[in-house]
Chains A and B, each alone.
Chain A
Amino acid sequence: EPEVTQTPSHQVTQMGQEVILRCVPISNHLYFYWYRQILGQKVEFLVSFYNNEISEKSEIFDDQFSVERPDGSNFTLKIRSTKLEDSAMYFCASSRGGQPQHFGDGTRLSIL
């Protein structure tokens, strides 16, 4: 069964540095998402992406965040100037629209 893949599995970054989290969605899916889960808290929606543009974003997704689909397979989340509170598990998901979302294994981001 096809899967969403995310790299790296764990990223350690100094505060203030930029970080890029990478995702390869399932190939015939058209909707892409990023969620995050701060340790001990619930999974929170960040952004959805469809037809090469953001379709919805949460209040968490401020100007330090951006998403991109640089080619036909990758979907990236960039955090420009990381803060301590950005430490979390970041999940990528994809769907065909109207169908359930499939999640990746997540990237654990640790900001020092």
Chain B
Amino acid sequence: AQRVTQPEKLLSVFKGAPVELKCNYSYSGSPELFWYVQYSRQRLQLLLRHISRESIKGFTADLNKGETSFHLKKPFAQEEDSAMYYCAFKNNFGNEKLTFGTGTRLTIIP
């Protein structure tokens, strides 16, 4: 069964320090991976999509098929990065449903 694992429920990082939010998936085919962010009392927003390979708000994520990982990274954390981050997965069988990880609450310490 396809599954997304985010091992850290909570992560606290000092402002200016590097951030890495971990995401691993289990799927034997070619997945499509996403990071969604949810700021306090706001909707889920798409942050990154692996196939677009772009950097949003300084965040990047690389799909590593060997390690089945899609970790989210930012070199210098900012206070406004405090939010809930969800890794999500979609297979390529034509259906569109997203499978989410349990999320990581990132807190940036000023």
Contacts and interface: CB of A to CB of B under 8 A. Distances in A.
A97 interface: yes
Interface stretch (B15-23, B57-65, B66-74, B94-102): B94-102
B75 to A, nearest CB: 24
A103 B44 contact: yes
A45 B43 contact: no
Contacts of A102: 46
Contacts of A48: 95-97
Given A41-B102, A42-B102, A103 B97 contact: no
Given A33-B96, A33-B97, A42 B46 contact: no
Interface in A66-112: 91, 95, 97, 100-106
A56 B95 contact: yes
Contact of A45 (B36, B99, B102): B99
Nearest to B52: A100
A100 B46 contact: yes
Contacts of B44: 43, 91, 103
> Which label, helix, strand, loop or mixed, suits the secondary structure of the A interface?
strand
B102 A97 contact: no
Interface of B: 34, 36, 42-46, 49, 86, 88, 95-103
Q: Closest 10 interchain pairs by CB? A: A103-B44, A43-B100, A42-B102, A45-B97, A100-B46, A105-B43, A103-B43, A56-B95, A42-B100, A31-B96
